[in-house]
Amino acid sequence: MKTVKMIALTLATMVLFSYCSPSDEWISLYDGESLEGWTASENTDSWKIEDGAIVTGGERSHLFYTGEVLDHNFLNFEFSVDVMTQPNSNSGVYVHTEFQEEGWPAKGYECQVLNSTIPGDYMEHKLSGSIYAVRNVWKAVQADKEWYWQA
Protein backbone atom coordinates (compact mmCIF):
# COMPACT_ATOMS: atom_id res chain seq x y z
CA MET A 1 0.00 0.00 0.00
CA LYS A 2 1.35 3.40 -0.95
CA THR A 3 1.98 5.63 2.03
CA VAL A 4 0.37 9.02 1.67
CA LYS A 5 1.40 11.85 4.00
CA MET A 6 -1.16 14.31 5.25
CA ILE A 7 -0.91 17.09 7.77
CA ALA A 8 -4.28 16.74 9.37
CA LEU A 9 -6.59 16.51 12.18
CA THR A 10 -9.00 14.16 13.85
CA LEU A 11 -11.13 13.19 16.70
CA ALA A 12 -10.25 10.25 14.74
CA THR A 13 -7.85 12.05 12.43
CA MET A 14 -7.27 15.44 14.03
CA VAL A 15 -5.01 18.45 14.55
CA LEU A 16 -7.18 20.69 16.66
CA PHE A 17 -10.57 20.03 18.11
CA SER A 18 -12.18 22.56 20.40
CA TYR A 19 -15.45 22.93 22.18
CA CYS A 20 -17.25 26.15 22.93
CA SER A 21 -17.69 26.74 26.66
CA PRO A 22 -20.59 28.67 28.17
CA SER A 23 -18.35 31.76 28.17
CA ASP A 24 -17.86 31.39 24.39
CA GLU A 25 -14.11 30.86 24.81
CA TRP A 26 -12.52 28.20 22.65
CA ILE A 27 -10.47 25.59 24.44
CA SER A 28 -7.81 23.74 22.48
CA LEU A 29 -7.67 20.00 22.95
CA TYR A 30 -4.18 19.87 21.43
CA ASP A 31 -1.16 21.29 23.28
CA GLY A 32 0.91 21.87 20.14
CA GLU A 33 3.74 19.64 21.37
CA SER A 34 2.58 16.11 22.08
CA LEU A 35 -0.25 13.62 21.69
CA GLU A 36 -1.09 13.88 25.39
CA GLY A 37 -4.84 13.40 25.78
CA TRP A 38 -5.10 11.51 22.49
CA THR A 39 -5.19 7.76 21.87
CA ALA A 40 -4.34 6.23 18.51
CA SER A 41 -5.98 3.06 17.27
CA GLU A 42 -4.19 0.43 15.21
CA ASN A 43 -0.92 1.43 13.48
CA THR A 44 0.06 4.00 16.10
CA ASP A 45 3.26 4.81 14.18
CA SER A 46 1.06 6.57 11.59
CA TRP A 47 1.01 9.64 13.89
CA LYS A 48 3.73 12.13 14.79
CA ILE A 49 4.23 15.76 15.78
CA GLU A 50 6.04 17.90 13.22
CA ASP A 51 6.54 21.67 13.65
CA GLY A 52 3.66 21.85 16.14
CA ALA A 53 1.19 19.99 13.91
CA ILE A 54 -0.19 16.49 14.16
CA VAL A 55 0.91 14.68 11.01
CA THR A 56 -0.56 11.42 9.82
CA GLY A 57 0.72 9.14 7.10
CA GLY A 58 0.94 5.44 6.50
CA GLU A 59 -1.46 2.66 7.33
CA ARG A 60 -5.00 3.36 8.56
CA SER A 61 -5.18 4.72 12.08
CA HIS A 62 -7.60 6.95 13.95
CA LEU A 63 -6.70 9.42 16.68
CA PHE A 64 -9.31 9.81 19.41
CA TYR A 65 -9.44 12.54 22.04
CA THR A 66 -9.43 10.76 25.41
CA GLY A 67 -8.26 13.68 27.54
CA GLU A 68 -9.65 15.45 30.57
CA VAL A 69 -11.65 18.30 29.00
CA LEU A 70 -15.27 17.49 29.86
CA ASP A 71 -14.01 13.96 30.44
CA HIS A 72 -13.94 13.75 26.60
CA ASN A 73 -17.72 13.55 26.57
CA PHE A 74 -18.87 16.26 24.16
CA LEU A 75 -22.58 16.61 23.52
CA ASN A 76 -23.33 20.14 22.31
CA PHE A 77 -20.29 21.80 20.75
CA GLU A 78 -18.66 23.56 17.84
CA PHE A 79 -15.32 22.48 16.46
CA SER A 80 -12.72 24.01 14.23
CA VAL A 81 -9.46 22.77 12.87
CA ASP A 82 -6.58 24.12 10.80
CA VAL A 83 -5.75 21.64 8.06
CA MET A 84 -3.18 21.16 5.32
CA THR A 85 -3.48 18.26 2.91
CA GLN A 86 -0.87 16.79 0.63
CA PRO A 87 -1.64 15.62 -2.92
CA ASN A 88 -3.47 12.28 -2.99
CA SER A 89 -4.20 12.32 0.75
CA ASN A 90 -7.52 11.33 2.27
CA SER A 91 -8.50 11.91 5.88
CA GLY A 92 -11.33 13.12 8.07
CA VAL A 93 -12.51 14.32 11.45
CA TYR A 94 -14.95 12.11 13.31
CA VAL A 95 -17.39 13.59 15.81
CA HIS A 96 -19.77 11.89 18.25
CA THR A 97 -17.59 8.79 18.19
CA GLU A 98 -15.73 6.73 20.77
CA PHE A 99 -12.40 4.93 20.91
CA GLN A 100 -12.14 1.55 19.29
CA GLU A 101 -8.93 -0.41 18.84
CA GLU A 102 -9.24 -1.16 15.12
CA GLY A 103 -11.31 -0.58 12.02
CA TRP A 104 -13.34 2.39 10.90
CA PRO A 105 -15.24 4.10 13.74
CA ALA A 106 -18.61 2.41 14.15
CA LYS A 107 -20.20 5.48 15.78
CA GLY A 108 -20.36 9.10 14.80
CA TYR A 109 -19.95 11.17 11.66
CA GLU A 110 -16.92 11.74 9.46
CA CYS A 111 -16.25 15.27 8.26
CA GLN A 112 -14.19 14.60 5.15
CA VAL A 113 -10.72 16.11 4.57
CA LEU A 114 -9.82 15.54 0.92
CA ASN A 115 -8.87 18.25 -1.57
CA SER A 116 -7.54 16.32 -4.57
CA THR A 117 -8.49 13.28 -6.58
CA ILE A 118 -6.73 10.09 -5.61
CA PRO A 119 -5.15 8.38 -8.64
CA GLY A 120 -6.10 4.83 -9.55
CA ASP A 121 -9.39 2.98 -9.54
CA TYR A 122 -10.71 4.57 -6.33
CA MET A 123 -12.76 7.68 -7.01
CA GLU A 124 -13.84 9.73 -4.00
CA HIS A 125 -16.71 12.13 -4.63
CA LYS A 126 -16.83 13.43 -1.08
CA LEU A 127 -14.41 16.34 -0.79
CA SER A 128 -13.49 18.45 2.25
CA GLY A 129 -16.59 19.64 4.04
CA SER A 130 -18.63 16.56 3.15
CA ILE A 131 -20.26 14.68 6.00
CA TYR A 132 -20.44 10.99 5.15
CA ALA A 133 -23.98 9.70 4.61
CA VAL A 134 -25.38 13.21 5.15
CA ARG A 135 -24.11 15.73 2.58
CA ASN A 136 -21.50 15.67 -0.20
CA VAL A 137 -19.31 18.56 -1.28
CA TRP A 138 -18.24 18.12 -4.91
CA LYS A 139 -15.76 20.98 -5.33
CA ALA A 140 -12.51 21.28 -3.37
CA VAL A 141 -12.58 24.16 -0.90
CA GLN A 142 -8.81 24.53 -0.89
CA ALA A 143 -5.76 23.44 -2.82
CA ASP A 144 -3.34 20.88 -1.40
CA LYS A 145 -0.27 22.20 0.45
CA GLU A 146 -2.13 25.27 1.78
CA TRP A 147 -3.41 25.72 5.33
CA TYR A 148 -7.12 26.31 5.70
CA TRP A 149 -9.67 26.45 8.47
CA GLN A 150 -12.46 23.88 8.64
CA ALA A 151 -15.38 23.96 11.04
Model confidence pLDDT, tens digit, residues 28-87: 999 999 999 999 999 999 999 999 999 999 999 999 999 998 888 888 888 899 999 999
Nearest-angstrom CA–CA distance, 138 and 97: 25
Q: Determine the residue type at 114.
A: L
| Dihedral (Cα; 91, 96, 100, 105), 10-degree rounding | -50
Phi, psi of 23 (to 5 degrees): -85, 5
Nearest-angstrom CA–CA distance, 110 and 12: 9
Whole-structure pTM value: 0.77
Q: What mean pLDDT, rounded, does the chain reach?
A: 82
In sequence order, the 6+-apart residues with CB closer than 8 A to the CB of 125 are 136, 138
The total number of structural domains that make up the chain? 1
For residue 20, the model assigns a pLDDT of 46
Nearest-angstrom CA–CA distance, 138 and 130: 8
pLDDT at 124 over 70: no
Residue 67, domain extent: 1-151
Nearest-angstrom CA–CA distance, 102 and 42: 5
